[in-house]
């Protein structure tokens, strides 16, 4: 309530006695703002009421990045959504549902406790399937997707705020069962990449065929194929046998290569020897041929005058030998163009051989 300053003034005037001559001094002097409070009280109360109405009615909304606001007027969504930012609303008439447009994850896992606290990640049980022979198989995979903004109002109007449980989850389970169910359990680990591609292609085609294309599929990751224990043991035995056979083939191939290497070395050495022998034979043949040609040339060069000259030279040597020792024995070896002469001087240390060409 406003403070009544006249009350203090009247009390001061009507009071008597005291050390101040009967005057009364109020215990405090009210601040200047309270002196005019009575005049401004209406404005202040009005501002407070407006602020309360603004806070309680909340005629505004703030859309964060990665979100989208869907305006609902009297229960019907408007076609144009609200993008990130500050937006004013008409209280009571307009309401806004905020949806997430960031990339979201849906895990299918056999683990009991995934331990995630992100609202953008949904965890479901692994997908249980029967293979082509009726054996149980479990599939773990992760799907990445996001809500498309341009058709979000129509998508939420058709599928509701739990749209991903009605669009993504059924499509994923249906495609995975269809693809994996066409293989035997033994084929699944061997054809893992092929199966992963078929699953992603099937999910993508199914989602993109929906009216207005409400969702964009980012990726599908096949994480694990869980086989029955007996099938797993059988596959491991087959793999061990294949590895042993592969090792045996490798050893055989290596031995074969070693044999080929030894044979190649032996062939090389034999070839080298053949080449060397052929070279020697060719050298002898060439030398003999050269000698033959030389002899032919020499024989052609021997004339009667040349032979007589050689005889004269030999006779001269004969005469010189007799001068040294009159008892010398002369041996004449006929043949050739000129004779060969050996002179024996009775001293074996002085045996001389004189030859003519």
CB 87 within 8 A of CB 80: no
| Same domain, residue pair 213 and 129 | yes
Domain boundary among 193, 227, 261: 227
Give the pLDDT confidence score for residue 132 in this predicted structure.
86
| Same domain, residue pair 180 and 213 | yes
Identify the sign of the CA torsion 56, 58, 64, 69.
Answer: positive
Give the pLDDT confidence score for residue 146 in this predicted structure.
92
> Which range, 14-23, 52-61, 134-143, has the best average confidence (pLDDT)?
134-143
For the chain, the average pLDDT equals 77
User: CA 147 to CA 164: how far, in whole Å?
Assistant: 9
CA 49 to chain centre: 65
Give the pLDDT confidence score for residue 333 in this predicted structure.
56
Q: Is the pLDDT of residue 49 over 80?
A: no
CATH number at residue 204: 3.30.479.30
User: CA 6 to CA 255: how far, in whole Å?
Assistant: 124
Q: Is the pLDDT of residue 171 over 90?
A: yes
User: CA 254 to CA 114: how far, in whole Å?
Assistant: 50
| Same domain, residue pair 112 and 164 | yes
The model's confidence at residue 51, banded by pLDDT at 50, 70 and 90, is low
> Worst-scoring range by mean pLDDT, 39-48, 162-171, 189-198, 228-237?
39-48
Q: How many other C-beta atoms can be found within 10 angstroms of the C-beta atom of residue 175?
A: 22
Give the pLDDT confidence score for residue 108 in this predicted structure.
93
Give the pLDDT confidence score for residue 354 in this predicted structure.
45
Residues of the domain holding 18: 5-57
Q: Estimate the crossing angle of helix 192-208 against helix 163-180, to 10 degrees.
A: 140
Q: How many domains does the chain have?
A: 5
Beta bridge partners of 353: 342
User: CA 357 to CA 355: how far, in whole Å?
Assistant: 7
Q: DSSP string spanning 277-291?
A: HHHHHHHHHHHHHHH
Give the pLDDT confidence score for residue 252 in this predicted structure.
86
| Same domain, residue pair 71 and 164 | no
| Same domain, residue pair 312 and 248 | no
CB 145 within 8 A of CB 106: yes
| Same domain, residue pair 155 and 222 | yes
């Amino acid at each position: 309530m406003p403070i009544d300053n006249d009350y203090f003034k009247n009390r001061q005037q009507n009071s008597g006695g005291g050390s101040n001559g009967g005057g009364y001094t109020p215990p405090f002097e009210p601040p200047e703002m309270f002196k005019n409070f009575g005049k401004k009280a209406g404005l202040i109360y009005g501002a407070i009421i407006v602020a309360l109405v603004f806070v309680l009615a909340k005629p505004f909304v703030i859309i964060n990045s990665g979100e989208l606001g869907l305006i609902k007027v009297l229960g019907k969504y408007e076609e144009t959504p609200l993008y990130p930012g500050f937006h004013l609303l008409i209280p009571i008439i307009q309401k806004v549902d905020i949806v997430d447009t960031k990339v979201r994850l849906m895990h299918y896992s056999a683990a009991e406790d995934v331990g995630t606290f992100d609202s953008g990640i949904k965890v479901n049980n692994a997908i249980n399937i029967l293979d082509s022979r009726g054996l149980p198989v479990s599939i773990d995979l992760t799907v990445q997707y996001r809500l498309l903004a341009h058709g979000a109002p129509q998508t939420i109007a058709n599928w509701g705020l739990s749209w991903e449980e009605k669009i993504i989850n059924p499509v994923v389970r249906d495609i995975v069962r269809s693809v994996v169910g066409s293989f035997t359990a033994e084929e699944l680990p061997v054809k893992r990449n092929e199966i992963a591609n078929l699953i992603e292609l099937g999910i993508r085609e199914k989602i993109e065929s929906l009216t207005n294309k409400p969702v964009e599929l980012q990726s599908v990751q096949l994480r694990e194929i869980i086989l029955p224990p007996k099938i797993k043991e059988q596959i491991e035995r087959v793999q061990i046998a294949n590895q042993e056979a592969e090792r045996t083939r490798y050893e055989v191939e290596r031995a074969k290569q070693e044999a080929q290497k030894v044979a190649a070395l032996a062939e090389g050495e034999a070839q080298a020897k053949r080449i060397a022998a052929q070279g020697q034979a060719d050298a002898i043949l060439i030398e003999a041929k050269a000698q033959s040609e030389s002899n032919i040339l020499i024989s052609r060069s021997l004339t009667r005058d040349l032979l007589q000259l050689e005889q004269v030279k030999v006779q001269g040597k004969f005469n010189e030998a007799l001068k040294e020792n009159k008892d010398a024995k002369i041996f004449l070896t006929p043949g050739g163009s000129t004779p060969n002469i050996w002179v024996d001087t009775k001293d074996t240390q002085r045996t001389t051989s004189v030859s003519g060409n």
